[in-house]
Amino acid sequence: MLQTIIQTHFKIGLSLTKILTISLFAVLLSACGKTEVAQQAPPPAVSVYKIKTQEIGKYREFVARTVASKEANLRARVEGELLTRLFREGANVEAGQVLLKIDPAEYIASVAAKKADLTSKIAGANGAVRDLKRGREIAANGFISQSDLDKLITKEAQTKAAVRVANAALEKAELNLSYTNITAPFAGRIGKVNYNVGNVIGPTSDVLATLTLTNPINVSFQIEESLYISYLQENGQEQQTNGITKPRVNISIRLPNNSLYPEPGVLDFSDTKIDQSMGTVELRALFDNPNGIILPGLFVTLILESQAKEKMSLVPQAAVQENQQGKFVLVIKDNKVSQRHVVLGRRINAMWVVDSGLNLGEEVVIEGLQKVRSGVEVKSVYKAVDYLTGTISEITDNSGNAADERANL
């Protein structure tokens, strides 16, 4: 009996050993299969951009403020009731156009009175001239004394002076009458009116309305005294045409909505002194504004770029990443990825100017960044990037050059 039990346990042990051996063999086969599958997986495909260069000048940005090239605060110069408003608020008006009318009745009456007074004074002066003429005639025969003749001479002079006074009073009355018509001193755009028709206004009243000329428009900005002095030393006396300076820089502005204004600017004023509290000098640029897009009082970014340019590399914004060490890109060399930190300059539309870290012809990853890391082998798919919008598009060859890329930034 005991022998039978021992044999039975021995057989069960052998069976378990076989089962464990078979299971272990199956696991090893499975692991080998997975390794072979992993080794046979193709490298991931990523979109790649070939670095190109562009002629770019030295560049500075300044905070600036737009200012109307002309501005006039319209005020009443005589007192009276505001009768009429002859313009639409916010509209363009012409030079000399009548904008507001003050009740002229009082001033018309004053002109009439001054005219009558002048006529009276002229008549008195004419009579004095005649009296003096007769007095001179009879004084020669001794019929009047020298004292009486002197009185006639004095009277003639006084009546002529009275004519001049009356004439000046008439001119003043006519001038006051003309002030009842408030006109535009120059062509421009008129703002809102601060008084309604029916209000009594006068010289002590506030501004009636403001007229501005915004084409062209001025852009005022401040630069450091050291930069200003260095610029003058490098460029010397600049040429002027019709009083407008032609600097050796290109001037442009970026609007508050981050769009670049298409019209170029010219430098037309630099202050004659340094602001001692700030250590800066004020400069002013002039921009054409035919569509009235730029309004006075806007904060804009003024951009100065030297006309002397040098070739610099450009990298798409899509390729740039950032970590604690700074900005970096993923570079492809010999089909392998490596991380490289770069020093970037200014941003131009969808591209960054590379101060250092990338050279012409090097390849950077612009799509599929999340699929790769340093040391991984990849398959490069060359793409084109629109310099203005940053749109990534397909190209037909592996040159990295695309006809649809915009070369001019």
Q: What residue ranges do the domains of the chain occupy?
A: 46-56+310-394, 61-67+213-308, 76-102+181-206, 105-178
pLDDT of residue 116: 94
Query: In CATH, what number does 61-67+213-308 get?
Result: 2.40.30.170
Taking the mean position of all CA atoms in its chain, how far away is CA 36? Answer: 63
Q: What is the mean pLDDT of residues 291-311?
A: 87
Q: In this model, does residue 27 exceed pLDDT 60?
A: no
Q: H or E stretch including 401? A: none
Query: pLDDT grade, residue 397 (50/70/90)?
Result: low
Query: pLDDT grade, residue 292 (50/70/90)?
Result: confident
Of residues 103 and 138, more confidence is placed in 103
Of 361, 311, 305, 300, the residue nearest 333 (C-alpha): 361
Q: What is the mean pLDDT of residues 337-361?
A: 88
pLDDT of residue 398: 52
Query: In CATH, what number does 46-56+310-394 get?
Result: 2.40.420.20
Tokens of 310: 């040098």
3-state helix, strand, coil split of the chain in percent (to 5) is 30, 40, 30
CATH class, domain 76-102+181-206, is: mainly beta
Mean pLDDT score of the chain: 82
For domain 105-178, give the CATH superfamily. Answer: Helix hairpin bin (1.10.287.470)
State what percent of residues in the chain have pLDDT above 70: 83
Do the Cβ atoms of 285 and 263 come closer than 8 Å?
Answer: no
Highest mean pLDDT among 304-308, 312-316, 344-348: 312-316
One-letter amino acid for residue 240 of the chain: Q
pLDDT of residue 128: 87
Q: What is the mean pLDDT of residues 232-244?
A: 56
CA atoms of 337 and 314, how far apart (whole Å) = 20
pLDDT of residue 240: 47
pLDDT of residue 408: 45
Do the Cβ atoms of 218 and 142 come closer than 8 Å?
Answer: no
- Count of other CB atoms within 10 angstroms of residue 406: 13
Of residues 330 and 242, more confidence is placed in 330
